[in-house]
Amino acid sequence: MSTTSAPDLAIISAEERIAWAADEFGDGLILTTSFGIQAALMLHLATRVLPRIPVVFIDTGYHFPETYRFAAELTKRLDLNLKVFSPQQSAARQEALHGKRWEHGLDGLKAYNFDNKVEPMDRAVRELGACAWLAGLRRVQASTRETLDVVQVQNRITKIHPILDWDNRAVYRYLTDHGLPYHPLWEQGYVSVGDWHSSAPLLPGQNEEETRFGGLKRECGLHELSGRIDFSI
């Protein structure tokens, strides 16, 4: 890990932020993706700088069929060093033991998200020996992201948000300039895609965060600084 002082990360480009993170954290740097609506952007951006960076995908077993096909397409096209992590219990077993927890309010969602997203991500960090994490969060996506910084520490791991200050026009321009696709469900009105049971198309009068988890919450736990997860390694 570098001991040099960081540049002013608030004003440099996304590519420069990734390059700084690569210098700072070396082999301890990973990238996460949900293969969501605009996932091709961060995957392309990061792998141009770090072609073999480990790309972590948490496979809950509840992704849309379109997501799995999109993941296969981008993995092949961008030659991703994909690392797939799944929950310790299958979707069928979870439902048999606990029911459809996403239908049981905030407490049910919290338990579901911990088992299906937070715990597998914690395991990914440990097994890959990661100390830093590139994530494609953007401030315009939700009120929960408006106050994020380009670099933040979340429970012992450093998170870097290279495109935090990008707006939707910048995303569109990058994808178009590089001939990259949006997720297939973009054409059906989805602006954010996760598990099939917790994602919905954008309706008139809604904002993006209202399309996730029935509007009860925006974050699944992976990106909450006060989450239960302990990323100690």
pLDDT of 175-199, one tens digit each? 999 999 999 999 999 999 999 999 9
Question: What pLDDT, in 10s, does the model give residues 136-158?
Answer: 998 887 777 787 889 998 878 99
Tell me how far apart the alpha carbons of residues 51 and 72 are, in angstroms, rounded to a whole number: 17
CATH number at residue 210: 3.40.50.620
Q: Is residue 205 part of a domain?
A: yes
Distances from the Cα of 42 to the Cαs of 5, 29, 34, 114, 204, in angstroms? 25, 14, 11, 24, 28
Total of domains in the chain: 1
In a domain, 106, yes or no: yes
In a domain, 203, yes or no: yes
- Domain annotation covers residue 41: yes
- Share above pLDDT 70 across residues of the chain, in percent, rounded to a whole number: 89
Residue 87 lies in a domain: yes
pLDDT number for residue 215: 65
Q: Is residue 1 part of a domain?
A: no
Positions marked catalytic: 220
Query: What pLDDT, on the 0 to 100 scale, is given for residue 227?
Result: 40
Strands 151-154 and 157-160, bridge-based pairing: antiparallel
Q: Are 94 and 115 in contact (CB under 8 A)?
A: yes
What is the rounded distance in angstroms from the CA atom of residue 202 to the CA atom of residue 217? 15
| Domain housing 144 | 14-215
* Residue 18 covered by a domain: yes
Q: For residue 231, is it within any domain?
A: no
